[in-house]
Structure 1
Amino acid sequence: MNAFWITSPATATRSALREITRIAPGTPSSHNNILTQVMSFPTPPSSADEEVVRKRGKRTMPIPTAVELTPPRTPTKKARSPRKQLTPKKTTTPTKGSPVRSSPRKRLLLPADITDAISSSPTKRLVAPFKKLKLQLKEPNVHPTVALAALTKSQLISLIEDITDRFPTVSQAIGSLVPAPNLHHGEQKLNALLRNVYRSFPQKHWGNSRDAFCYRRVQLALEMFKEKCMSKARQLSEGEQWGALLEYVMLAWGFVKRLPDWEDPPHNKCKLTCFRSLAAHCMAALRKGNLESTQLEILVARFREMKDDSVCIMPCLKFAEATLLEAQRSS
């Protein structure tokens, strides 16, 4: 009987290594023989635990199908792109009529009056209306002149109206004691506003100082001057103080003519508006005021000087000359 030797993998490996040492290094077939012999060695069988570990490392993710990537389209709703699906929806700001939502924990922490206002209808106010305290006591020891200092202009006018209605004889005394309007404050205000106009000019500007660039820098100061000039004349006209109105027209005319003249004619609209407003108030004062001949002569001489500044005063000059001529004929 022939005896068969069963060789184990370790014995085969040792025999292969002996063959490697026998082959002389440097021969061309040495490397090929070594590789073929090593690759031909039988690999040892793996155990059950190694198979489990190998299967765990080869997990694969399921590949999504085309149906899962693109949602089905419906005839009433357009399909949204994956980018739009990933972007969060914008929360709209709550309107005034929309109810305010809050968690029960927050509602418990809030005061009672605020929770009642939130849970109520939107038309209900959050804060209760302020109630006036009835603490305005009548001070008997305060002098009337001291108490009048705390009143507004409308309260003073209504007070005088009540006094004249109760005591008709006092109306004539009050009319004779009413002083003439003080124009000194208006003069100071116009002077300050005129200085502000010239201060608004740019300090460093190469070119003409009356161009459009400088006008844009001075425009706001010009509007403030025009508003003050016209409001004071309107106040005197509403109070029917015709003599003081004529004095104010002469006073304000000198400030208006000192306003800068600009290159572009539309930029001179502010100055022209002031001249026209003063001329209109002057005409109203000439017609409604009872002027004497001496006063008309002074006004005619002054109007002739003012016509060089603006032709808006020409109707006033003609009316004053006609009234003066009629007064001289009647006398």
Structure 2
Amino acid sequence: MEDPTADNLRRRRAALAEIPARLDRLRMTPLQPVSVNTRMSPGIPSGYLSPAPSPEEQLIQQRGRKRIPANWSPDIDMKRNSTFHSAVRTPPREGTSRDSPPKLGVTLRSTPRKRLMLDNERVPLSPEKIDFSDLSTPQKFKIDNSPAKVTPPIKRCRLDKMLDPDYKGPIDTPLKGLSPTQLINMIKRITYKHPEIEDEIRQEMPQPDISPMEERLNYLKNNIFKSLPTSRLTSKTDSPAYSRVSTHLAAFKKCLIDQGKTLIESQHWESVLQYVFLAWSYVRATPIWDNQPHNACRKQCFKALFNFCATALKKGAFTQDVLIDIQDKLQSMESDSEDIRSSIKFVQGLLQTT
């Protein structure tokens, strides 16, 4: 009987002998670049895989990538934005044009930009030229691209229209509705027709009533104090508080100067001095701010009142008793403004001459 071990060895040797033959089949050649042979594929064009660059592409490659300028210029950005908006436009709707009139009964939807462009070219029709009773003909609403005609100015009503002659009520009732200019013109016409009445009017003319002026100043002064902060933890004279009150201070100064100019134009010199003394106390009651430049409005009010006082003293004629009273009041105002000293010296000179 044959040994099984020897049989196994023969089988192994036969299997190992076949290995070199199989290894030859598994050998690989080194990688080589793939070349496309156009002869093997005549259907592919010669420049398909590696096309030659066009002249435009060569210029772009030579130019390089576009860079943003280091210095910003608003003109460049404006030009770029205008170019972009001019290139991007809303395409027109098919079957319609800008010059064709809209059809009645049809609502066309368009973009806001297109509506704005159309509205700039339309000429509005006046209600008198449109017949709303007949809307069957679209030609009545045809848009005309001709420039719009200048409309004539509206005729104003005459302000000097006389009172109804049939009115039998008291004369003071219609006089309350007249403006100061109308009253002045009416009195001038009457005195021109009847010169003898002018002397009587001069004798009956009273001094101006400055109580409405005082009420106006008091109202504006209260607005100043109402605008101040109410908290105990915040200051009422610092810069934040001034920023809240600055508008009311400007209104107070404007009112004070306008009322003084009205009295100066009327040449009621005694009333001008009464207004100066009255308004001086209201200016003195305004807040004094921590920052000195914020007190400019206060100083300007004192300066305007001083000019009113100086003008009244130079052009007015006052008795000795009135001058003494004026001198006492001016001396109490000297601590607020140094300009008052010149007015005090002027009054003292008038007292010595009288």
- Which bin holds the TM-score, normalised by the shorter protein? 0.5 to 0.7
Q: Does structure 1 conserve the Cα–Cα contact (< 8 Å) formed by 2:257 and 2:304?
A: yes
Q: 1:131 to 1:320 in 2, by over 3 A?
A: closer
> Is 1:175 aligned with 2:202?
yes
2:289 corresponds in structure 1 to: 262
Bigger mean CA offset, 114-123 vs 234-243: 114-123
Q: Which amino acid aligns with 2:322?
A: Q
Deviation at 1:65, TM superposition (A): 10
- Following superposition, the deviation at residue 326 of structure 1 comes to 1.4
Q: Quick one: distance in 1 between partners of 2:188 and 2:296? A: 41
Aligned counterpart for 1:140 among listed residues 165, 179, 183: 165
Is residue 104 of structure 1 aligned with residue 100 of structure 2? yes
Greater C-alpha Rg: 1
| Other-structure match for 1:187 | 214
1:290–1:138 Cα change, 3 Å: closer
Structure 1 residue identity aligned to 2:329: R
Answer yes or no: is the 8 Å Cα contact 2:256–2:301 preserved in 1.
yes
User: Partner residue of 1:130?
Assistant: 154
Q: 1:285 aligns with which of 294, 299, 312?
A: 312
User: How many correspondences in the alignment?
Assistant: 245
Look up the match of 1:236.
263
Using the TM superposition, give the Cα deviation of residue 217 of structure 1 relative to its aligned residue in structure 2, in angstroms.
Answer: 1.1
Deviates more, 1:272-281 or 1:198-207: 198-207
Distance 1:133 1:280, change over 3 A: closer
Q: Could you say which residue in structure 2 is the equivalent of 1:306?
A: 333
The answer (yes or no) to whether the contact 2:101–2:142 under 8 Å persists in 1 is no
Contact persistence 1:117–1:124 (CA under 8 A) = no
Which residue of 234, 252, 275 corresponds with 1:248? 275
Separation in structure 1 between the aligned mates of residue 267 and residue 247 of structure 2, nearest angstrom: 31
What are the equivalent positions in structure 2 for 1:157-236 lying under 5 Å apart?
Answer: 157-204=184-231, 206-236=233-263
Whole-angstrom distance in 1 between the partners of 2:299 and 2:86: 61
Structure-2 change in CA distance of 1:117 and 1:154 (3 Å): farther
Change (3 A) 1:191 1:150: closer
Indicate the percent of aligned positions where both proteins have the same amino acid. Answer: 28
Task: Work out the CA distance in 2 between the residues paired with 1:251 and 1:66.
Answer: 93
Aligned to 1:20: none
Change in Cα spacing, 1:209 to 1:138, as seen in structure 2 (3 Å) is closer
Output one character per residue of 1:74-96: Cα deviation in whole Å (capped at 9) or x when no partner. xxxxxxxxxx999873569xxxx
Query: Contact 1:246 / 1:285 at 8 angstroms: preserved in 2?
Result: yes
What is the deviation of 1:159? 1.5
Q: What corresponds to 2:301 in structure 1? A: 274
Q: Which amino acid aligns with 1:151?
A: L
More helix by share: 1
Corresponding letter in the other structure for 1:326: T
Query: Which amino acid in 2 is paired with 1:285?
Result: A
2:331 aligns to what SS in structure 1?
A: helix
Amino acid of the structure 1 residue aligned with 2:186? L
Report the secondary structure of 1:105's partner residue.
coil
What residue ranges of structure 1 are gaps of 5+ in the alignment? Answer: 1-61, 74-83, 93-100
CA distance in 2, matches of 1:181, 1:236: 8
Deviation, 1:157, is 1.4
Q: 1:138 to 1:291 in 2, by over 3 A?
A: closer
Q: 2: distance between equivalents of 1:213 and 1:293? A: 49
Alignment of 1:51-66 (within 5 A): none
Q: Alpha carbons of 1:293 and 1:118: their partners in 2 closer, same or farther (altered >3 Å)? A: farther
Residue 106 of structure 1: how far off its partner (Å): 2.4
Q: Secondary structure at the match of 2:236?
A: coil
- CA deviations over 1:66-116 (Å, ceiling 9, x no partner): 76x97x99xxxxxxxxxx999873569xxxxxxxx9543328789684778
Distance 1:228 1:241 in 2: 19
Root-mean-square deviation (CA), in Å?
3.7
Instruction: Report the CA distance between 1:148 and its aligned residue.
Output: 3.2
Deviates more, 1:192-201 or 1:109-118: 109-118
